[in-house]
Chains A and B, each alone.
Chain A
Amino acid sequence: MSAAISDTRLSTAWSRGLLGCECCGLVSETASGVALCPRCGFALHARKPKSLQRTSAYLLAAVVLYMPANTLPIMATASVIAGHESHTILGGILELWQTGSRDLALIVFIASIAVPILKIVALALLVFTAQRRSRWRQAERASLYRLIETVGHWSMLDVFVVVLLVGMVRFGAFANVEPEAGLLAFGAVVVLTMLASSSFDPRLIWPDSTDHD
């Protein structure tokens, strides 16, 4: 149950010559020249190395795959009644809406369409402002970062839905569901945006006067 109360004056670890371990939280002195956390062995650094470059790279890859993820079909259904049909992400949401499950349609829309767009736009904004060492709306940007970290993995919803449908609908010629290439692209977008947000160092939102970077 250990955590924290404020010091009388707010100061940063870097300005005091301290480094907090990103993995286990132990605070070490930079002057002691320890490159690895003495408790857990994680590499100590004031800022994640090449954070903005790595975030941008993952983000760019996610943007490229975003197009096929949304235009290619994510699954194909075959049944004696309806014949062969391909379904895209947006098509699946419209289908849910039309069959009367509007609440679920809304949830899938948020998870599959809104969250990936939010992550890409928000991370682009965070990288852009961090690069300029902007002091614009720092508290709001910090909240935005926490939001995308929290909701990020929910985009995996549609991947699980298709995998489960593939497992459920196995009635041979009568009715069958198969996954399609769009699902791979979509899964890759989810993983890449998660990697992008974990590469971003939120400490860059709060540039120090002593910032070295």
Chain B
Amino acid sequence: MQAAARRILARVGLVDRRDEATAHVHPELTVCEECDAVYRRRRLSAGEVARCQRCGSVLGRGHLLAADGQLALAAGALVVFALGNVSDIVILDLHGVHSPVTLYESIWSTWLSGEHVVALLAGATAFAFPLVVILLRLYVLTPLVAGRRVRGLVPALRALRWVTRWSMVEVFMFGMLVAIVKIAGLASVIPGVGIFSFAVLTVLLAAIHSAGLHDLWHRVSELQA
């Protein structure tokens, strides 16, 4: 009964810490995710990339910024994300009729036209998941920088791994450019604050993602040790 409860807790990422003390773990080793080759860990300096000798996959990257710098990137990303979502992506001028367009309105129009699944897909990958990525980064990095223990870091990191994969701001950014070119024959297009915000957000998110998550896992477990 107790074992079952612990298993359920572990499933959702709330691990009973006593397990770790009894299990035989090797924090001094690392394994290539793509071909299973074993390596000895070492700290990477900023910008350094370690690659697997057998399959060439990236084993780890040293982030150019320390944790506080990464926190600043995530905070900046949140501001730019908010700006991009409240301001107009473009303003269309059709014979004097001005029509401002936001991300929210585009998704809502798609929903109203009956393509609900497509609207949800776009809303998730261009809005919800990027927002969750930024919020989870802030949630994990803030206690790391402060050197404080907080609850829920393990579930946060697990969710972050999943949601990062499905966040597609950079593709959405490019979609805006293509849409503007396609519309240019019909109406004159004035680029709004939104499109520049999404451009900056694309760069910030790329910088945030550049180091992968394994380093954060190690920092978190060092913090909790």
B41 touches A168 (CB 8 A): no
Tell me, yes or no, whether A38 is within 8 Å of chain B by CB. yes
Whether the Cβ atoms of B168 and A34 lie closer than 8 Å is no
Q: CB-CB < 8 A to A154: which residues of B?
A: 171, 174
Most buried by A among B19, B60, B122: B122
Interface residues of B in 203-225 (CB under 8 A from A): 213-215, 217-218, 221
Contacts of B40 in A (CB 8 A): 4-7
Residue on B nearest A47 in the bound complex, by CB: B36
Contact between chains at A22 and B33 (CB < 8 Å): yes
A96, B2: Cα distance in complex, Å = 63
Does B35 sit within 8 A of A, measured CB to CB? yes
Instruction: Give Cα A31 to B117, complex, Å.
Output: 46
Cβ contacts A58-86/B at 8 Å (1 or 0 each):
00000000000000000000010000000
The count of chain B contact residues (Cβ–Cβ below 8 Å) is: 97
Q: Which residues on the A side are within 8 Å of B35 (C-beta)?
A: 12, 142, 202-203, 205-206
Q: Provided the pairs A12-B37, A13-B36, A107-B174 are in contact, do residues A2 and B215 lie with their beta carbons within 8 angstroms? A: yes
Is B4 positioned at the interface, with any CB of A under 8 Å from its CB? Answer: no
CB-contacts of A161-183 with B (<8 A): 161-171, 174-175, 178-180, 183
Give me the interface of A with B, judged by CB distance under 8 Å: 1-7, 10-14, 16, 18-20, 22-29, 31-32, 34, 36, 38-42, 46, 79, 92, 95-96, 99, 101, 104, 107-108, 111, 138-139, 142-143, 145-146, 153-154, 156-171, 174-175, 178-180, 183-184, 187, 191, 194, 198, 202-203, 205-206, 208
Q: Report which of A3, A6, A10, A180 forms a contact with B61, defined as CB distance below 8 A.
A: A3
CB distance A3 to B59 under 8 Å?
yes
- Say yes or no for B101: interface residue by CB 8 A criterion: yes
Q: Do B158 and A166 touch (CB < 8 A)?
A: no
A79 to B9, CA, bound (A): 57
Given pairs A40-B217, A158-B175, 8 additional interface contacts (CB within 8 A): A12-B35, A23-B158, A156-B171, A159-B121, A159-B175, A164-B175, A168-B101, A205-B55
Q: Which residue from A13, A31, A157 sits with its C-beta under 8 Å from B31? A: A13
Assess whether A26 is in contact with B11, with CB atoms less than 8 Å apart: no
- Given A31-B24, A40-B13, A16 and B181 contact (CB-CB distance below 8 Å): no
